[in-house]
Every structure is written in structure tokens, then in C-alpha cells.
Amino acid sequence: MGKFALVIILLTAFCSFAAADNEKGLFSTNYFKKIQKMEKSSQALSDESQTKDWSIMIYGCLDAEEGIESGFLKEFYQIAGFGNAQGKAHIAAQLDFRTASKRETSRYYLKKDELHVRGKFANVNTGNPETLSSFLAWAMQYPANHRMLFILGHGTGWMSLVGPGSITAGNIVPGQQKSFGYDHGSEDCLTLTEAGAIFEQVLGSKKIDILAFRSCLMNQVETALQLEPFFNYFVASQSSQVTINEGFLTTILGVEGGFETDILQCIASGDASPVKTARAMYTSLLKTNTKITDLAKMDFEIACLDLPKLKQAVSMIKPVFAQLSTDLKTKPETTKELLASARKDTPKFGGMFEGMYTTKPDDYEYIDLGVLLAGLGAKGFMPEETAACCAAIEEAVIAKRNGSDRAGSFATAIFMFPTHEKLTPLYQKLIEGFYAKLDFCTQTSWDEVLHAYYGL
């Protein structure tokens, strides 16, 4: 991380102290007050019963650090300023604020510069499956041809480092790894299993067109495949996403936060097929992040995936991993050397364990699946099969942005610790408790490869 990046982080924390009762403080803009000014108490609008081309459902998990809450509030304010895509979309949003702020959780139906209040609640726990279920039951009532679920807040992929069931100093509660919907006040967040049960309950056999995350680390093949039964397109980052509360000092430094509205412009154009809208959402999140990360000289990655095509690509991998697992048992030394060499050459993502178990990026816990397969093929291991798998993965990636040090990435991260005396027992706890049960492992036998690789 560069010095300028550190300055940005410090300013994010410093500039989050807004004057409590003013729209504009000395160091930051109070977007909560601006949002309150947009609120309207109204009966049901005629728009709400009309069938729109799109419905955007925003699940705002803002019970986080103050600077993050402030940054997301500005982004939501800008979405509200653009409005419902010139009447072509329903936008239903639920915002849960920091518990410490003692603000009520709010539901809104959005029109341009108007937030029609559709519910106020005592601060809720966004990590509770019942909260997600209640939100979806309300938001899904708006009739539309296509739908997108947009989730804001902390995310960690298929496992977490904080909250109940988290990994802290190697202490893991089996089956309880958290994923997204973090709620700091409740010290809770959703697991993929919890979320999947709610999606199945609410959707039945239907699918939502797009799932987009304004969160870190959610673009992992394990996560994407687990959510594939409920969504067709997936927009998420395989690294960290950033936000910032814009104020006096950040303005001086030329740092501009806020949400880029390509997604809403796309829908407003009237030419918004699901794949085109998914790409537009990718562009919105790409621009929203890079106007901060590029200035701060920070790497940023994001991708837009076709989930049914990803599932098809994953189905082609099983014979490769099955052979790899067999070779690790019958020819352990040469096969471990082959796999270690291929892993070393892949881009690395993550870093959640940095400072606890790892010391450098080569130790990061996520690697690029496509590059790993290509590397194995280049080294003579099932070259035709691995090439076919790589081609299928590329077909599933609609759009991607790689960081400068991950230029060759396929934008498909999977979990693989390096061999390390501190990591192996931790991995064993993870795989016994949860990882081996994920669809990615049951469909590819990747957990068997890792078991043999680590000698478990």
C-alpha cells in the first residue's frame, strides 16, 4: 500500500466526524441529513402497482465503521438523486444504520429526489436470516420483468474473521462461517447456507436476474456457485472495495467518492437486457471504486459473471481434479511439486490472514482458478482437458478488471492456502467444518485435492 493510500484511509476515518445537526460540517457532509430531507410520507403511489422493466432491491447493511456508513450514505443519496430510471424501474431500499447512531432502519420507495417512506423500524440485525427474508418479501411485491438484488456492506466470501463462528486465532466453530450482511451492533452476518435457505424460500423455482455486491471478496467461485441456483448474473470483487466520505479535506486532495449511475442510465435508455444491465452494474461499481483506488495507487479487481456458464465450466473440472487427487496419492512428491509450482505462478487474492498467519502476498489464501488450470496444462498435466476448462471459464466471464499485479487473472478466485505449518491445521478445521460441503467441492472434489496436498 502506497503512502497516498494510507493518507486516504486516515482521511476516511478523520473526515467521518460530521456535525451532528448540520448538513455540512467543517470536515464532512452529513448525507444522513440530506437523505432525511428527501423523505416523504405518502400513500401508495400509482407507480408502485405498475409493471416496470426492472426492479432494483437494495439491502443496505450500513451498521459498520462510521466512515464506511458515511461513504455508503453519499452513494445512496446519489442513487436517490437519479431516481427510478425515468420511471422504468422500481427501486426498493432498506437501510440499516450504525447501532451507535440510534437511527431507525428505514425502507424507501425511490423516485427522483424523493424517498417515499415504506417503513421505520428499531435498528435491525442484517445478519439475521429473518431480516433478509422480511426485506425480500416486501421488495419482491413490486411487479417487474427483471430484478436485481444489490447488497451494500462488509463481505468476506464464504468465511469470516469477525462475529459468531468467525476465525479468530484459529478458533473455528464448524458450519458457522459467515459471509455477508455484516451487522457490527449485533456482531453477526449471514452464512451462504442461511442466505441460500432464504432465497429458496422466497423465490421457489424462480431466479433473480442479477446479484451485485458493494462488498469485499465476494467474487469467489465457491461463493458464486453456491448462489447460482438463485441468480443468473453475478457482479462482485475478488479483492477489496473502497468507499470514502467526501468532505473539505478530501476535496482539497481531489478525492471524490460517490456512486456512478451507469446502471440507472442503462435502464433509463429502454434497452436493458439482463446481460447488458449486468455489464452496466459492473461498470458502475468499477467507476465507483477506481476513482478512489486509481488516485491512491491501489489495485482493484472486479468481474461480471454468467453463473449458469460458470456452473458448466466447473462441471468440466472434476476429471482434472480427480486425476490430480489420485496422482497426489500415488506420486506424492512429483505431484506436490507440480501443484506447488502452478500455485506459485497464479495471481493471489485475499489477505484476510495477513499478520495472523501470513507475512507476504504469496501466502494469501485465494488463487486464480483459470491460471492454476492453465499452469498445470502448460506443465504437461492433462493439457487438452485443462485448456477446455480455461476456455469455458473465459466464456463465463462477461467483463473483468484486473489489478496491475494480477494482469493474467481469469477473475475466478478459489481457496488454497500455501503449505505452512500454521495454516495446515487451520485448513483442516475449515474443511471439516464447512468448506468440503460447499457445492464447488462436492462438484469438483477440490477438497480431496487439498487433503492430499496437505497430507491430511
Tens-place pLDDT, residues 264-303: 999 999 999 999 999 999 999 999 988 888 776 778 899 9
Domain end point (choices 274, 306, 338): 306
Q: How many domains does the chain have?
A: 2
What is the pLDDT, as a whole number, of residue 187?
Answer: 81
* 263 and 330, same domain (yes or no): no
* 340 and 300, same domain (yes or no): no
Between CA 271 and CA 198 the distance in angstroms is 31
* 149 and 276, same domain (yes or no): yes
Between CA 401 and CA 359 the distance in angstroms is 26
> Is residue 228 within 8 Å of residue 310, measured between CB atoms?
yes
* 105 and 50, same domain (yes or no): yes
Query: What is the model's pTM?
Result: 0.90
What is the pLDDT, as a whole number, of residue 175?
Answer: 41
* 115 and 35, same domain (yes or no): yes
What is the pLDDT, as a whole number, of residue 90?
Answer: 98
What is the pLDDT, as a whole number, of residue 80?
Answer: 95
One-letter amino acid at 129 equals: P
Give the sign of the dihedral formed by CA 365, CA 370, CA 376, CA 381: positive
Helix 369-378 vs helix 383-396: crossing angle, to nearest 10: 160
- 74-100 burial, b for 16+ CB within 10 Å, e for fewer? bbbbbbbebbbbeebbbbbbbbbbbee
* 401 and 419, same domain (yes or no): yes
Cell 466453530 belongs to residue: 173
* 449 and 362, same domain (yes or no): yes
What is the pLDDT, as a whole number, of residue 427?
Answer: 66
Q: What is the CATH number of the domain that holds 301?
A: 3.40.50.11970
> Hey, what's the cell of 143?
411487479
* 408 and 427, same domain (yes or no): yes
Between CA 238 and CA 350 the distance in angstroms is 8
Give the sign of the dihedral formed by CA 114, CA 119, CA 123, CA 129: negative
What is the pLDDT, as a whole number, of residue 380?
Answer: 97
Segments forming the whole domain that contains residue 300: 3-306
Domain end point (choices 306, 330, 346): 306
* 269 and 391, same domain (yes or no): no
* 293 and 383, same domain (yes or no): no
Which residue ranges of the chain lie beneath pLDDT 70?
A: 1-28, 160-177, 245-256, 296, 351-362, 419-433
Between CA 239 and CA 234 the distance in angstroms is 15
Domain end point (choices 271, 286, 306): 306
What is the pLDDT, as a whole number, of residue 166?
Answer: 45
* 14 and 143, same domain (yes or no): yes
Lateral strand order in the sheet of 208-214: 39-40, 114-121, 105-111, 89-96, 52-61, 144-152, 208-214, 231-236, 302-306, 397-401
* 12 and 126, same domain (yes or no): yes
